[in-house]
Structure 1
């Protein structure tokens, strides 16, 4: 399921972000350019974090930026981004963030299945090695696809 929501176009490696807001904008940019979300969706994510705090930082070094579907989701998708230098989001337990998985969910069922598969990947130490060592988006896509087949 996860590999169906991901493509090489949605993966950005070694983003040079100046702060958490810039990291979200850059990691979500492929979703906007691929017509998965409207630009206002990215603004909604940032506004939500400003209002509610860094709840999107879900585990050590990992953020899953997202907003409600009515805020501009066109199609369910997930973007993957790695940061050149980790960025502080304001979550004392899990900062700094190095990996960003920008989620756009059109329907709850797809959203929950994708999150369950992502949760499995986030418990896999080898996945982080692939993220850190990848020089091409296809390397990440290949790992996700192979993991799903197991």
Structure 2
């Protein structure tokens, strides 16, 4: 479950970013600080976007920054970040991005399981409204747990 992969240290609310690269770095910084990823992992995410385009922008206003496990994923984890002001990633259909869900997965299976859990959450129409209203990381964790319980 997603709630098993996120903790309060990985939640940032109303973060400030000047562009998409800054947004990726800001969203992933807590994962470095919590020893979930290396600095090189962030660089791999940014390099991937430069090479492949904004493939991490998975739906309207939502980015899912991630790289391959061998790029520096130390533990499987997911973060949740809201931006004070949305930024453009270059995704014609889904820009601007306001929500980032950085992912670190130590193997392909963890990556798939984390994606599956996140997709279920993103399909909940009220989730983003409630996420925007959250004032603390504790409220975000409680929201995720409540949504997961409702899905069971």
When normalised by structure 1's length, the TM-score is 0.97
Q: CA deviation at 1:123?
A: 1.1
SS in 1 for 2:91: coil
Question: What corresponds to 2:45 in structure 1?
Answer: 45
- Structure 2 gap ranges (5+): none
Question: What corresponds to 1:111 in structure 2?
Answer: 111
* Count of aligned residue pairs for this structure pair: 150
- Structure 1 gap ranges (5+): none
SS in 1 for 2:101: strand
Question: What corresponds to 1:145 in structure 2?
Answer: 145
Q: 1:3-48 deviations in whole A, cap 9, x for unaligned?
A: 0100000000101100000000000000000000001100000010
- Structural RMSD (CA): 0.8
2:63 aligned with 1:72 = no
Q: Hey, what's the Cα distance between the residues in 2 that align with 1:146 and 1:114?
A: 17
Question: What corresponds to 2:30 in structure 1?
Answer: 30
Q: CA deviation at 1:110?
A: 2.0
Q: CA deviation at 1:109?
A: 2.0
When normalised by structure 2's length, the TM-score is 0.96
Q: Hey, what's the Cα distance between the residues in 1 that align with 2:142 and 2:111?
A: 21
